[in-house]
Amino acid sequence: MNSKLSRYKIHGGAVILRNEILLNGTVLVENGKILEVVAGNVDFPDSIEINAAGKYISPGFIDIHIHGGGGHDFMDGTVEAFLEIAKTHARYGTTAMLPTTLTSEKEDLLLTLEAYQKAHKINTEGASFIGMHLEGPYFALSQRGAQDPKYIRNPDPEEYQFILENYDCIKRWSAAPELPGALEFGDYVNAQGVLVALAHTDAIYEEVEKAFQHGYRLATHFYSAMSGVTRKNAFRYAGAVEAGYLIDDMDVEIIADGVHLPSPLLKLVYKIKGANKTALITDAMRAAGLPPGNSILGHKDKGLAVIIEDGVAKLPDRTAFAGSIATTDRLVRTMLQMTDVPLLEVIQMISAVPARIMNIEEQKGSLSKGKDADILIFDQDINIQMTMVNGRIVYSL
């Protein structure tokens, strides 16, 4: 359902706010923005009434690391792929997303960036786009995961300066901070107002600590493709994981699908970093929202063949995971089922925290007066009943 901008009164539900759940609250929407959040029921003339019928009224979910869904990948480099991924994930509660690339040939990367710029202008039927996230190609080969080693290389100033000078849609770039030139890369990217994140890294603590001073403020898919305690010449060294814990001001993002990180690690991240410094991400590939079977990671013609089973994408030899097939509702459900994190904080981890990390908290991330009307209705099992993006209903049962 694609509804034009209008006045809405969403009432009769438990409204999830930043610091409390307002039982029997009402959210008023006008011209794509939240006009007011009030207790009880109020008159709102000439509005479309939506009765939440005792369910939750929640801020929309923000996914700051996502590759695809519904049979499409952003690396396909087409406007259709962008729009279909946005529609697919809106059905599961995502109201804003940061489309993410994979390591690739420069030509394919630029094609994807061009597609983003076109799709961004006409995307009205799914989750909104809040910028591009470049994941790679500046990674440690030893921590490449399912990234194609053919394209992995050290930071190239001529390359990354050209990309950032020509595409202002880029809002985040993930790289391994221990590589030659990675600190200079961090300085330059950070100076452009783009978030720098550490990823696919074999860095030890001291290298991450130094990188933090050069703009590496976020740990990409924490634990995944990331060094832990290691030994060199018989001596133990703390790795990137330990650095993520020890650097208080570093944010972390986790694939909370219950597969990439089991329950004890989800609990440990929450215990040490807390909800305020932890964002939930899907890191979803094209098979998200589809049944198990064979799929492709990355470009539909040049990507890597993978198998979808056990709720995750795997390499064909099943030696490693090759991407997530999670949707944001699954992340919330997993955190509630596998940890002791309260609902209020879980919602914060998938709305307010990613909004803060991406510096859009003035527009999105909570049900507050003046913010974009990105609103969900879901039941106790986090089954999405309605998704509203910028005041438009893009999905409803």
Mean pLDDT of 164-179: 98
DSSP H helices, 199-326, are 205-212, 240-246, 263-273
Opening angle at CA 31, ends 280 and 24, nearest 5: 60
pLDDT tens for 90-128 read 999 999 999 999 998 889 999 999 999 999 999 999 999
Mean pLDDT of 261-286: 98
Mean pLDDT of 253-277: 98
Give the three-class secondary structure for 49: strand
Peptide bond into 262 cis (omega under 30): no
Asked whether residue 2 carries a pLDDT value surpassing 90, the answer given is: no
Contact 279, 251 (CB under 8 A): yes
Measured between alpha carbons, how far is 324 from 280 in angstroms, rounded to an integer?
Answer: 13
pLDDT value, residue 302: 86
pLDDT tens for 85-96 read 999 999 999 999
CATH superfamily of 8-58+377-396: Urease, subunit C, domain 1 (2.30.40.10)
* CATH code for the structural domain at 61-362: 3.20.20.140
| Mean pLDDT, rounded, of the chain | 96
pLDDT tens for 51-89 read 999 999 999 999 999 999 999 999 999 999 999 999 999
Measured between alpha carbons, how far is 281 from 254 in angstroms, rounded to an integer?
Answer: 6
| Helical (H) or strand (E) element with 114 | helix 106-122
Report in angstroms the alpha-carbon separations of 245 from 186, 263, 271.
20, 17, 10
Give the three-class secondary structure for 46: coil
Cβ count near 317 (within 10 Å):
7
Contact 95, 61 (CB under 8 A): yes
CA 184, 164, 177, 358 torsion: positive or negative? positive
DSSP 61-86: EEEEEE-EETTEEGGG--HHHHHHHH
pLDDT tens for 301-348 read 888 899 999 999 998 999 889 889 999 999 999 999 999 999 999 999
Measured between alpha carbons, how far is 205 from 207 in angstroms, rounded to an integer?
Answer: 5
pLDDT tens for 181-236 read 999 999 999 999 999 999 999 999 999 999 999 999 999 999 999 999 999 899 99
Rg (the chain; Cα; Å) = 20
| Helical (H) or strand (E) element with 122 | helix 106-122
User: Using CA atoms in the order 46, 47, 48, 54, what is the torsion angle rounded to 10 degrees?
Assistant: -130
Q: Three-state SS across 257-274?
A: CCCCCCHHHHHHHHHHHC
> Identity (one letter) of the amino acid at 102?
L
Q: Which residues are paired to 372 by β-bridges?
A: 33
User: Using CA atoms in the order 335, 94, 193, 165, what is the torsion angle rounded to 10 degrees?
Assistant: 130
Measured between alpha carbons, how far is 210 from 198 in angstroms, rounded to an integer?
Answer: 12
Measured between alpha carbons, how far is 68 from 130 in angstroms, rounded to an integer?
Answer: 15
Give the three-class secondary structure for 357: helix
Mean pLDDT of 264-275: 98
Contact 297, 146 (CB under 8 A): yes
Report in angstroms the alpha-carbon separations of 27 from 53, 92, 370, 375, 376.
14, 21, 12, 9, 11
Q: Where are the domains of the chain?
A: 8-58+377-396, 61-362
Contact 202, 234 (CB under 8 A): no
Asked whether residue 288 carries a pLDDT value surpassing 90, the answer given is: yes
Cβ neighbours of residue 96 under 8 Å, at least 6 residues apart?
Answer: 60, 62, 63, 127, 128, 129, 130, 360, 364, 374, 389
Confidence of residue 1 (pLDDT cuts 50, 70, 90): very low
